[in-house]
């Protein structure tokens, strides 16, 4: 406890860190308050009292949308669509970066190219929102027709613009947190939305277990399993394979440079949470074309989170996207070239092409168990639901929710620890530096 109090005191002694934390907290507070601002022309009482709409927003893929938006989806809030349209647009732009020469060129142009890619991502986000917003309004009209105080084409257009503006404002908040706050703006916003639903989900599970025979024991077992799942996920996020690198000795005048040894840390899960987010976004496309009606055709199959085909396709997509995103973020050829320029080499491996092939082989080997475990984490909520865990609470046993919480918390702690160590204070961890996700 003394260590914790001392660390908190040290955090608030650093003015820049204190300002960034306060700034981040205030913007996150704005986001949470906006989640309760109901769209004009919608009766919030009718929304809150609709058992049918409440059931829909607590189960299946629609329940996941509500979870990621921090409950804004179920509140008919101006932030109802959250940041998932932006995530979907990011997926498409990254795929285009592999297939389209124009986007490949932008990826190689450094900062200017990144800005243009971000601009294209925003445009595509607006296009996706223009499709999803009317579908969202149509869903509310189907589920809770009495909730509409106003109606007509003009109301639909205005409400669509409000929903588009809400998501774009969330994106702006995320960018401000990244630039002037503690970093990882969009990830922090998603995490806060998820954590905001945890107390409701936990209390619902407690209520279910207390009213059943042997419920207290089952609840204790669930919490123990949840703890073990969190521990395993932390191990996955922090797992690293270190490749030794030696640097040749160079003599300039009377001074000797180089000759030291360092390591290249290759992450077991270099793709982080992105494969699950990508896969989840693709699994939501059937709902888009079915106007959120998950009772017909392919939408019915892929909205049943406990069904075999949903979990099989979901797990396969996670596995594929893990390899795909790893190849995007890890470039063995560039690493080998940079190592060669700085006079470094891996012992027993020739510099240049052989080094790139060696790194690529290592990444392929460590990515395989990482991809398999990530796929298992992705379908863990379905396994928990099949075992009788409440649908809302089951989301915290794995999937995007768990990885985002673990990954963002570790990244945030790493950012804070960097500030503390740079100012010659003790870090957060007493056993060594946090490794985070990077």
CATH number, domain with residue 392: 1.10.3370.10
Mean pLDDT is lowest, of 33-42, 378-387, 390-399, for 390-399
Mean pLDDT on 154-180: 92
HEC-encoded secondary structure of the chain: CHHHHHHHHHHHHCHHHHHHHHHHHHHHHHHHHHCCCECCCECHHHHHHCHHHHHHCCCHHHHHHHHHCCCCCCCCECCCCCCHHHHHHHHHHHHHHHHCHHHHHHHCCHHHHHHHHHHHHHHHHHHHHHHHHHHHHHHHHHHCHHHECCCCHHHHHHHHHHHHHHHHHHHHHHHHHHHHCCCCHHHHHHHHHHHHHHHHHHHHHHHHHHCCCCHHHHHHHHHHHHHHHHHHHHHHHHCEEEEEEEECCEEECCEEECCCEEEEEEECCCCCCHHHHHHHHHHCHHHHHCCCCCCCHHHHHCCCCCCHHHHHHHHHHHHHHHHHHHHHHCCHHHHHHHHHHCCEECCCCCCCHHHHHHHHHHHHHHHHHHHHHHHHHHHHHHHHHHCCCCHHHHHHHCHHHHHHHHHHHHHHHHHHHHHHHHCCCCCCCCCCCCCCCC
How far apart are the C-alpha atoms of 113 and 425, rounded to whole Å? 38
24 domain-assigned = no
170 lies in the same domain as 238: no
| CA distances to 110, 211, 356 from 332, in Å | 18, 56, 5
pLDDT of 42 > 60? The answer is yes
CB distance 60 to 314 below 8 Å: no
243 lies in the same domain as 148: no
pLDDT of 286 > 50? The answer is yes
Give residue for tokens 């503690």: 182
143 lies in the same domain as 262: no
The per-residue pLDDT for 382 is 86
Mean pLDDT on 107-125: 86
39 lies in the same domain as 176: yes
% of the chain beyond a pLDDT of 70:
87
Mean pLDDT on 79-105: 84
The per-residue pLDDT for 33 is 92
Mean pLDDT is lowest, of 130-139, 177-186, 241-250, 360-369, for 241-250
Residue-averaged pLDDT of the chain:
82
Mean pLDDT on 144-164: 89
145 lies in the same domain as 213: no
Q: Which of 131, 164, 181 is the last residue of a domain?
A: 181
2 domain-assigned = no
Looking at the structure of the chain, the number of domains it has is: 2
420 lies in the same domain as 300: yes
1 domain-assigned = no
Torsion of CA 150, 152, 154, 157, to 10 degrees: 90
The per-residue pLDDT for 25 is 92
Mean pLDDT on 93-101: 81
How far apart are the C-alpha atoms of 195 and 188, rounded to whole Å? 10
Mean pLDDT on 385-397: 84
- The domain in which residue 65 lies consists of 35-181
pLDDT of 255 > 70? The answer is no
235 lies in the same domain as 143: no
How far apart are the C-alpha atoms of 34 and 231, rounded to whole Å? 33
220 lies in the same domain as 172: no
The per-residue pLDDT for 414 is 81
Q: Which among 186, 171, 383, 359 has a CA at the least distance from the CA of 274?
A: 186
217 lies in the same domain as 130: no
CB distance 389 to 205 below 8 Å: yes
Mean pLDDT is lowest, of 160-174, 185-199, 294-308, 365-379, for 294-308
6 domain-assigned = no
Report the chain's C-alpha Rg in angstroms. Answer: 24
The per-residue pLDDT for 438 is 45
Residue 12 has, within 13 A of its CA and on its CB side, a CA count of 6
pLDDT of 424 > 70? The answer is no
HEC-encoded secondary structure of 387-417: CCCCHHHHHHHCHHHHHHHHHHHHHHHHHHH
How far apart are the C-alpha atoms of 176 and 186, rounded to whole Å? 10
Mean pLDDT is lowest, of 75-79, 209-213, 336-340, 429-433, for 429-433
Edge-to-edge strand list for the sheet holding 261-267: 261-267, 240-247, 344-345
pLDDT of 138 > 70? The answer is yes
299 lies in the same domain as 174: no
Q: Which of 163, 181, 199 is the last residue of a domain?
A: 181
363 domain-assigned = yes
Residue 110: which pLDDT band, with cuts at 50, 70 and 90? confident
Q: How many CB atoms lie within 10 A of CB 295?
A: 8
The per-residue pLDDT for 437 is 45
Q: Which of 133, 163, 181 is the last residue of a domain?
A: 181
CB distance 42 to 73 below 8 Å: no
pLDDT of 164 > 80? The answer is yes
pLDDT of 161 > 90? The answer is yes
Q: Which among 396, 383, 29 has a CA at the least distance from the CA of 198?
A: 396
19 domain-assigned = no
Mean pLDDT on 25-31: 93
| CA distances to 7, 337, 416, 427, 429 from 4, in Å | 5, 43, 13, 10, 10
CB distance 91 to 278 below 8 Å: yes
367 domain-assigned = yes
291 domain-assigned = yes
How far apart are the C-alpha atoms of 314 and 286, rounded to whole Å? 13
302 lies in the same domain as 346: yes
How far apart are the C-alpha atoms of 92 and 34, rounded to whole Å? 28
309 lies in the same domain as 415: yes
This prediction has a pTM of: 0.78
| CA distances to 3, 24, 181, 185 from 420, in Å | 14, 18, 16, 21
């Amino acid at each position: 406890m003394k260590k914790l109090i001392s660390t908190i005191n040290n955090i608030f002694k650093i003015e820049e860190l204190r300002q960034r934390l306060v700034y981040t907290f205030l913007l996150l507070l704005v986001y949470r308050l906006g989640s309760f601002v109901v769209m004009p022309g919608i009766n919030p009482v009718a929304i809150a009292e609709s058992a049918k709409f409440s059931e829909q927003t607590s189960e299946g893929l629609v329940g996941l949308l509500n979870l990621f938006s921090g409950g804004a989806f179920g509140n008919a809030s101006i932030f109802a669509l959250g940041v998932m349209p932006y995530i979907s647009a990011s997926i498409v732009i990254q795929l285009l970066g592999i297939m389209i020469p124009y986007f490949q060129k932008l990826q190689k142009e450094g900062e200017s190219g990144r800005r243009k890619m971000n601009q294209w991502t925003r445009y595509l986000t607006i296009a996706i929102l223009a499709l999803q917003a009317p579908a969202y309004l149509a869903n509310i009209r189907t589920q809770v027709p009495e909730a509409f105080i106003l109606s007509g084409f003009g109301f639909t257009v205005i409400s669509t613009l409000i929903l588009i503006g809400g998501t774009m404002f969330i994106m702006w908040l995320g960018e401000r947190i990244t630039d002037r706050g503690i970093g990882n703006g969009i990830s922090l916003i998603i995490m806060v939305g998820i954590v905001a639903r945890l107390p409701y989900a936990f209390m619902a599970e407690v209520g279910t277990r207390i009213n059943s025979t042997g419920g207290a024991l089952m609840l204790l077992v669930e919490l123990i399993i949840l703890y073990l799942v969190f521990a395993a996920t932390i191990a996955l996020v922090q797992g690293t394979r270190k490749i030794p690198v030696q640097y040749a000795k160079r003599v300039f005048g009377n001074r000797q440079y180089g000759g030291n040894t360092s390591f290249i840390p290759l992450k077991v899960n270099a793709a982080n949470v992105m494969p699950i987010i990508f896969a989840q976004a693709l699994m939501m496309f059937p709902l888009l074309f079915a106007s959120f009606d998950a009772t017909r055709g392919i939408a019915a199959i892929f909205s049943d989170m406990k069904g075999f085909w949903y979990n099989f396709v979901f797990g396969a997509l996670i596995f594929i996207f893990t390899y795909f995103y790893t190849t995007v973020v890890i470039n063995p050829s560039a690493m080998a070239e940079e190592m060669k320029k700085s006079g470094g080499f891996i012992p027993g491996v020739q510099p240049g092409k052989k080094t790139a092939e060696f790194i690529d082989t290592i990444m392929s080997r460590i990515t395989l168990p990482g991809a398999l475990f990530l796929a298992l984490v992705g379908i863990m909520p379905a396994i928990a639901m099949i075992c009788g865990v409440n649908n809302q609470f089951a989301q915290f046993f794995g999937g995007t929710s768990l990885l985002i919480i673990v990954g963002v918390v570790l990244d945030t702690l790493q950012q804070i620890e960097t500030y503390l160590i740079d100012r010659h204070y003790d870090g957060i961890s007493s056993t060594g530096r946090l490794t985070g996700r990077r």
